[in-house]
Amino acid sequence: MSKNIHFTPGPSALYFTVEQHIRTALREQIPELSHRSKVFSNIIEETIKSLRALLKVPNGYHMVFTSSATEIWERSIQGLVENESYHLVNGSFSARYHAIASQLGINALKQEAELGNCPDYKDVSITDKTELISITQNETSTGVAFPLEDIYAIRKQFPNPLIAVDVVSATPYINLDISKIDMVYFSVQKCFGLPSGLGVWIYNDRCLELANRRNYEGKITGTYHSLTSLHKSMQKFQTPETPNMLNIYLLGQVAKDMINKGIDKIRQETDYKSALLYNLFETHGKLTPFVKDKAVRSSTVAVATVADGSASLINNLSNSGLVVGSGYGANKNNHIRVANFPTHSKEQMELLVDHINKWT
Ligand SMILES: *Cc1c(COP(=O)(O)O)cnc(C)c1O
């Protein structure tokens, strides 16, 4: 049986080198090591180093591992917010961060855009009580991308609150200037093309000092993980718990592969494949791009509305081994969502576009 190609927006196709790296990891017995051993802390150190280079993480910014991006939503509110957070909501993932903040009992405010649009940052009602602003750079549920220039404009206008940016389904494609924000985070099963179950949290000294102070004051900033405990363990390239060792190893290897390939090349290829997809959506009789405003269309998750519903197209493609995502939430039955991640080759994307073109 030939393999399926997963264009689903996470989990998605594994990065094309992952299988080889898993074999190497098993041969070298990496999952059998003690997570407190020198050999394994060297692996953590190497992964951190490679990621810092790939993502151009500036000095004064730190990196720790969590179980997922979802965990970072909880830990960031617990560690960094006393009373009030503000969420720019443009779909299900940004809404979930807001909901978690509410559940944790803080005053979580939001500005919500209609699905398929981006909240206009000029309408925000951020006050001097706002401690953290949440922005979802790439909203995987709708295919809306928050323009980087708007993120930088928010920074300029609001220097005091922390700015937290979700780049789960955009990094390392997106060329974010990390020095302009306070924390950024992702999980690895989207653009990085790895198995799920690992989150990466990058944060600056402001975040760290805040979390440490709240911790010192006796606030609950997390249980098995808090920013303070994660940071402290990472000084020895360790984690408080037994981590997802295999994935930490794989992430380091894939980050190196991406550096060797060249991040510029990865970005150019992504732009090329994204143009193919949106051109298809605009010219196909039964498809229309869900995001009308080209300025906020995601390059890495393209969403189309399918006339008469998306089930028949999704089935048709899957019969040929091409797996695309269905819609999210309310749009489950009338959208397709197509991941355009670094592992999806030009040839694979051309094959998918060809197939959809032939479907009527
Ligand atoms: C997938 C996703 C998440 C959640 O990731 P988990 O690994 O399930 O925690 C958060 N934000 C965005 C934008 C996502 O696409």
C-beta of 74 in contact with ligand 1 (< 6 A): no
Instruction: Note the pLDDT tens digit of each residue in 88-119.
Output: 999 999 999 999 999 999 999 999 999 999 99
Residue 286 burial class via C-beta count within 10 angstroms: exposed 0-12, middle 13-18, buried 19 and up: middle
Smallest CA separation from ligand 1 atom 2, residue: 168
Of all protein residues, whose CA lies closest to atom 15 belonging to ligand 1?
Answer: 140
What are 293-316's pLDDT values in tens digits? 999 999 999 999 999 999 999 999
pLDDT at 1: 61
Q: What is the average pLDDT across 59-81?
A: 98
Going from the Cα of 69 to the center of ligand 1, the distance in angstroms, rounded, reads 6
What pLDDT score was predicted for residue 2? Answer: 81
* Tens of pLDDT, residues 252-287: 999 999 999 999 999 999 999 999 999 999 999 999
Those residues with Cβ within 8 angstroms of residue 347's Cβ, 6 or more apart along the chain or in another chain:
none
Mean pLDDT in the chain? Answer: 97
Residues 323 and 353: their CA atoms lie apart, in Å, by 12
- Cβ atoms within 10 A of the Cβ of 86, count? 24
Mutate which of 187, 188, 200, 341 for ligand 1 pocket (most atoms within 8 A of beta carbon): 187
Closest CA to 173 of 15, 323, 340, 59: 340
Residue 170: CB within 6 Å of ligand 1?
no
Averaged pLDDT for residues 322-327: 97
Q: Give the pLDDT confidence of 114-144 residue by residue, as tens digits.
A: 999 999 988 888 989 999 999 999 999 999 9
Full-prediction pTM beyond 0.95?
Answer: yes
**Cα–Cα distance for residue pair 310/326, rounded to 1 Å:** 7
pLDDT of residue 219: 95
